[in-house]
């Protein structure tokens, strides 16, 4: 708000929003109803945006939650339904919260079993749910339960069936004419909409918002960075549904009548169109998309019809004189959507890939990041790396015993033992396909072992999810780098801190001092960590725009942000030049020396492995074929045959 022009723009917008209904009345436009309805749809689209835009879950049945909100209002507030709840003094102001809560609850009920499936399958399930709700509503207008003549429930009208619900109680505020005037509705919906927008804005910029976007970008990587994908997605579903509940209850009270037809599949699709047209993930875009589509539908199409008919009458073209463009609405929606997707696939106001700054013209010899220095290690990282819990003294950090894992007929790991002491670097080498990465996947919880035990700091890790294992203190990087590519460098590291932060939904929205302090500290830490690995000054770059070596370093920074005591690095120097490799080797040494972090290292660069490993384990066809210190491993005949090759012996001799 420091920019005076921006402040002025906001002031003008506020004045415009306040003056609009009076201006409309003065000019006799009579658009307030349509605009208010538009705002309800915008609120719906904003709720859907949490699910689709932030968390990246395609929901094709979102109108179901809209229906649940509307019928919750009807059930409490309409005399025509035989609701056992009707008749109590339920005020509209209580009912909207009730409707939101019911929608959120159903969001969880629907979400819990379905969110384990991914992508297309989830979309199909939401599609089914979106179909079931209107059908259920149609058929719950006349319920009779007959158990051999005994009828505990007879001709109970729960939903009004095909005829719908009419009337529904209106809100009551002393002196405000909700019955006769559209203007109070306009302001009521505006206030609800702005409050929702405010909450969503804060959610997006919180620990939770980052977790949603991380899940959208790469669910597995998010899981291995300490974000629980199940609860995070469920929360997106529930919160998205609760906004639909608000919108539905207000819609029902405003319209005074609801029918199942208002919540059909087309409504879900139209809401999705609003999100996509405006730009998924962008609040401004979704508002724009929602307003454009509703106003086009409600105002522009009828105006255009009048115009076309007038042209038809004056030019004496009977086809035009009898035209009804409102019948063509889906054609126009479709056309508009196709055009936007072709010309601006990120949506009208979506975030465009940020153009990169032009590089200097003169070729420069690439300067690798400065060698990491012990002084640059952030103090908090030193504290975090101290052993926690009551691990028995002298026990190893990680103890893996007899791990076996089969994939179909292939035995990827066969009775593998491996011990990582505290503050040690352990090399894990072996031919391609020997099972090294599978071993990492088992330790980090991505793959469950068929047999064997994994004990970390004296505790069995059996059955823990990857994110829980990260919280215990094991972090990893991936062979093929898995960052959150569309997020900033800083946000990537902040996701790493996720499991060390506490902000909840109310905390993220209302920001009590504790959350403000926590968030500020998290950002400071992320910056310190980036400076430490040599990425200072690149905090606001988009991760995927970083050069390869920087991406590797960022992945390590993200892993360090989880405050691990064991770091699993999967081919960290692959694709690095000798200088970058050297810097990385120094970094690993520093982590071990200064922070007592243990490192388990998969690496094919033998200069690195032999140089920094205390001990090395060699796998071949899933079986451990050797274990020893580097000198022993280099002399081992089986290792030379299976892995190092005769050329390595020659190289070693000539070096």
Partner 1 sequence: MLELVDVHTFYGNIRALRGISIGVESGEIVTLVGANGAGKTTTLRTILGTVRPRRGSVSFGGQRLDGLTTDRIVRLGIAQSPEGRRIFPRMTVLENLELGAFARQDHQGIASDLDRVFTLFPRLRERGGQKGGTLSGGEQQMLAIGRALMARPTLLLLDEPSMGLSPILVDTIFKIIQDINRQGTTILLVEQNARMALRVAHRGYVMQTGRIVLHDTASDLLRSDLVRKTYLGEK
Contact set with partner 1 (CB under 8 A): 353, 355-356, 358-359, 363-366, 407, 410, 429-437, 479-480, 547-549, 571, 574-582, 604, 606, 642-648
Shortest distance (Å) from residue 429 CB to partner 1:
8
Judged by beta carbon, residue 336 or residue 575, the one nearer partner 1 is 575
Q: Which helix (H) or strand (E) holds 635?
A: helix 630-635
Judged by beta carbon, residue 430 or residue 496, the one nearer partner 1 is 430
Judged by beta carbon, residue 120 or residue 358, the one nearer partner 1 is 358
Judged by beta carbon, residue 191 or residue 652, the one nearer partner 1 is 652
Shortest distance (Å) from residue 479 CB to partner 1:
5
Judged by beta carbon, residue 89 or residue 647, the one nearer partner 1 is 647
Cα–Cα dist 435/413, whole Å: 6
Shortest distance (Å) from residue 118 CB to partner 1:
14
**Secondary structure of 536-603 in HEC code, one letter for each residue:** CCCCCCEHHHCCHHHHHHHHHHHHHCCCCCEEEEECCCCCCCHHHHHHHHHHHHHHHHHHCCEEEEEC
Strand partners, 404: 451
Shortest distance (Å) from residue 146 CB to partner 1:
51
Residue pair 379/531 in contact (Cβ under 8 Å)? The answer is: no
Judged by beta carbon, residue 310 or residue 407, the one nearer partner 1 is 407
Shortest distance (Å) from residue 286 CB to partner 1:
26
Shortest distance (Å) from residue 194 CB to partner 1:
37
Give the CA angle between residues 364, 367, 368 to the nearest 5°. 150
**Cα dihedral across residues 262, 263, 269, 274: positive or negative:** positive
What end-to-end distance do the CA atoms of the chain give, in Å? 63
Cα–Cα dist 337/276, whole Å: 8
Helices (H), 344-463: 379-384, 436-443
Judged by beta carbon, residue 366 or residue 512, the one nearer partner 1 is 366
Judged by beta carbon, residue 316 or residue 361, the one nearer partner 1 is 361
Kindly state the greatest CA–CA separation across the chain.
Answer: 98
CA 86 to chain centre: 39
Judged by beta carbon, residue 420 or residue 606, the one nearer partner 1 is 606
Report the candidate in 553, 540, 586, 49 with the shortest Cα–Cα distance to residue 285: 49
Cα–Cα dist 338/130, whole Å: 24
Shortest distance (Å) from residue 615 CB to partner 1:
19
Strand order in the sheet with 459-460: 410-420, 398-407, 451-456, 459-460
Name every residue whose Cβ is closer than 8 Å to that of residue 402 and which is 6 or more positions away in sequence: 415, 416, 417, 451, 452, 453
Shortest distance (Å) from residue 360 CB to partner 1:
8
CA 272 to chain centre: 17
Shortest distance (Å) from residue 638 CB to partner 1:
12
């Amino acid at each position: 708000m420091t920019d005076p022009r921006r402040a002025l723009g906001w002031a003008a917008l506020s004045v415009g929003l306040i003056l609009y209904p009076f201006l409309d009345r003065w000019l006799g436009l009579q658009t307030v109803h349509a605009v208010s309805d538009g705002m309800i749809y915008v609120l719906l689209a904003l709720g859907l945006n949490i699910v689709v835009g932030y968390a990246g879950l395609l929901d094709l049945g979102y109108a179901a939650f809209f229906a649940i909100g509307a019928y919750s209002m009807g059930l409490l507030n309409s005399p025509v339904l035989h609701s056992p709840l009707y008749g109590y003094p339920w005020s509209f102001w209580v009912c909207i919260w009730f409707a939101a809560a019911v929608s959120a609850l159903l969001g969880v009920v629907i979400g819990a079993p379905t969110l384990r499936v991914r992508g297309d399958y989830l979309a199909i399930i939401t599609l089914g749910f979106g179909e079931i709700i209107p059908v259920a509503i149609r058929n719950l207008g006349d319920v009779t339960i007959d158990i051999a003549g005994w009828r505990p429930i007879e001709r109970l009208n729960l939903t009004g069936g095909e005829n719908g619900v009419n009337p529904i109680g209106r809100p009551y505020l002393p002196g405000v004419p909700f019955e006769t005037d559209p203007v109070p509705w306009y302001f009521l919906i505006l206030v609800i909409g702005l409050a929702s927008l405010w909450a969503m804005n804060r959610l997006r910029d919180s620990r939770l918002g980052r977790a949603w976007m991380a899940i959208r970008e790469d669910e597995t990587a998010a899981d291995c960075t300490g974000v629980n994908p199940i609860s995070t997605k469920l929360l997106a579903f529930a919160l998205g549904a609760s906004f639909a509940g608000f919108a539905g209850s207000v819609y029902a009270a405003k319209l005074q009548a609801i029918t199942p037809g208002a919540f059909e599949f087309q409504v879900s699709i139209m809401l999705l169109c609003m999100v996509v047209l405006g730009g998924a993930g962008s609040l401004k875009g979704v508002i724009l998309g929602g307003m454009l589509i509703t106003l086009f539908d409600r105002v522009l199409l009828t105006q255009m019809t009048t115009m076309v008919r007038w042209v038809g009458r004056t030019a004496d073209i009977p086809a035009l004189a009898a035209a009804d463009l409102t019948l063509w609405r889906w054609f126009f929606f479709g056309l508009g959507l196709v055009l936007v997707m072709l010309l601006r696939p990120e949506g009208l106001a979506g975030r465009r890939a940020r153009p990169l700054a032009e590089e200097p013209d003169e070729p420069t010899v690439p300067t690798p990041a400065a060698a990491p220095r012990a002084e640059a290690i952030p103090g908090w990282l030193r504290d975090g790396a101290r052993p926690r819990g009551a691990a028995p003294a002298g026990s190893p950090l990680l103890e893996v015993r007899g791990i076996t894992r089969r994939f179909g007929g292939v035995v990827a790991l066969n009775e593998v033992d491996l011990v990582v002491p505290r503050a040690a670097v352990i090399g894990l080498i072996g031919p391609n396909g020997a099972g090294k990465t599978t071993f990492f996947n088992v330790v980090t919880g991505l793959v469950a072992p068929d047999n064997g035990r994994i004990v970390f700091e004296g505790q069995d890790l059996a059955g823990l999810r990857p994110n829980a294992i990260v919280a215990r203190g094991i972090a990893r990087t991936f062979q093929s780098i898995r960052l959150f590519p569309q997020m900033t460098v800083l946000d990537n590291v902040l996701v790493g801190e996720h499991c060390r932060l506490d902000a909840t939904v109310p905390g993220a929205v209302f920001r009590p001092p504790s959350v403000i302090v926590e968030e500020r500290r998290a950002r400071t830490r992320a910056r310190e960590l980036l400076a430490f690995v040599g990425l200072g000054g690149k905090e606001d770059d988009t991760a995927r725009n970083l050069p390869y070596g920087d991406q590797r370093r960022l992945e390590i920074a993200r892993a360090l942000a989880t405050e691990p005591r064991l770091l699993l690095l999967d081919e960290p120097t692959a694709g690095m030049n000798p200088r970058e490799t050297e810097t990385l080797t120094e970094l690993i040494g520093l982590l071990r020396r200064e922070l007592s972090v243990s490192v388990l290292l998969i690496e094919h660069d033998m200069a690195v492995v032999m140089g920094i490993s205390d001990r090395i384990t060699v796998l071949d066809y899933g079986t451990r074929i050797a274990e020893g210190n580097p000198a022993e491993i280099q002399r081992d005949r089986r290792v030379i045959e299976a892995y190092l090759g005769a050329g390595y012996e020659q190289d070693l001799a000539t070096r």
